[in-house]
Amino acid sequence: GIQVEQSPPDLILQEGANSTLRCNFSDSVNNLQWFHQNPWGQLINLFYIPSGTKQNGRLSATTVATERYSLLYISSSQTTDSGVYFCAVGVSNAGKSTFGDGTTLTVKP
């Protein structure tokens, strides 16, 4: 099956810093989503982005499908951005999404 690798595994920032999280995948995909898992375990959908670039406030994402990677940018980070960020890809119409192991982000005040 498809492999999804996220980097870095852990990231520690000072409040106000910018960061880039990366997601590499091993095969062509039909969809790609970025999620933020908060300390209570809930996964919040940040972006549905099979290709191209999207922005939502301080967050933006870019997927280059032909090169099999996606990037999540966080600007002016806040302590509430802390948590685990996952990317998930779908490769068929069977409904399965394959998740990476996540990037754990800690933003210090």
Partner 1 sequence: ETGVTQSPTHLIKTRGQQVTLRCSSQSGHNTVSWYQQALGQGPQFIFQYYREEENGRGNFPPRFSGLQFPNYSSELNVNALELDDSALYLCASSSGASNEKLFFGSGTQLSVL
Distance CA 109, CA 33 (A): 28
Smallest distance from partner 1 to CB 97, Å: 6
Smallest distance from partner 1 to CB 82, Å: 16
Contact between 63 and 31 (Cβ < 8 Å): no
Residue in 34, 102, 105, 107 binding partner 1, rule: CB under 8 A: 102
Smallest distance from partner 1 to CB 16, Å: 28
Q: How many Å separate Cα 66 from the centre of its chain?
A: 18
Q: Tell the burial category of 87 from Cβ atoms under 10 Å away from its Cβ (0-12, 13-18, 19+).
A: buried
Number of residues that bind partner 1 (CB under 8 A): 27
Residues in 10-69 that interact with partner 1 by CB under 8 A: 30-31, 33, 35, 40-45, 48, 50
Residue 42: phi, psi to the nearest 5?
Answer: -75, 135
Cβ distance to partner 1 smaller for residue 17 or 99: 99
Distance CA 62, CA 84 (A): 19
- List contacts with partner 1 (CB under 8 A): 4, 30-31, 33, 35, 40-45, 48, 50, 86, 88, 90, 92-102
